[in-house]
Amino acid sequence: MNSKNIIIGIGVLAFLGILFWAGKNNAKPAEQTEGPKIESSLTANISSFDFGTIQMKNGNVEKVFTLKNEGDAEIRFANVFTSCMCTTAYLEKAGEKQGPFGMPGHGGPSASPRLSVLPGETMNVRVVFDPNAHGPAGVGLMERTVHLVEEGGAEEVLSIRSMVTP
């Protein structure tokens, strides 16, 4: 190798190092980019559920979460969405059912929530997980979330997980 190639190589490495360093120093930590978290008045009987090991061939599984408005004001939802298109959610209260709600931007369900929960009232969130949604390669540990975003910005997050086998 001649000295010209060595100098060019060092120059390229130095340039890449400067780009990496500049990008790292300009990135804001997560706590600076997010506003203060607003606590929801909704309380869930449980907020996380593990289906254990499920087989693709057995089809969809579902879990119903019960939530209660422990606050003194009516709760209205601005958005309800899931973290993956393999998961859908339905809001249910006193015979009223809304949904399905799915992952935004991926052609899945995108209904607008119109349900409100008065102080002291309960509601259910039925979460349906399709272990076949990712095809034969979709095996292993799956962790998914459902986000219930209130008009005031508060958010309740429910989570499910399962070990998917063929």
pLDDT of residue 27: 44
In the chain, CATH 2.60.40.10 covers: 42-165
Q: Which CATH class is domain 42-165?
A: mainly beta
**Residue 21: which pLDDT band, with cuts at 50, 70 and 90?**
low
The predicted model scores a pTM of 0.74
Q: Given a cut of 80, is residue 18 above it in pLDDT? A: no
Instruction: Show the beta-strand stretches assigned E in the chain.
Output: 42-44, 48-55, 61-69, 75-82, 87-93, 96-101, 116-117, 122-129, 140-150, 155-165
Contacts of 80 (CB under 8 A, 6+ apart): 89, 91, 99, 101, 113, 146, 147, 148, 149
Q: Given a cut of 90, is residue 5 above it in pLDDT? A: no
Tell me the pLDDT tens digit for each residue of 88-128. 999 999 888 999 999 987 765 566 788 889 999 999 999 99
pLDDT of residue 51: 97
Q: Given a cut of 60, is residue 34 above it in pLDDT? A: no
How wide is the angle at C-alpha 54 spanned by C-alphas 49 and 59, nearest 5°? 105
**Residue 30: which pLDDT band, with cuts at 50, 70 and 90?**
very low
Please name which of 51, 49, 64 lies closest in space to residue 162, comparing C-alpha atoms. Answer: 51
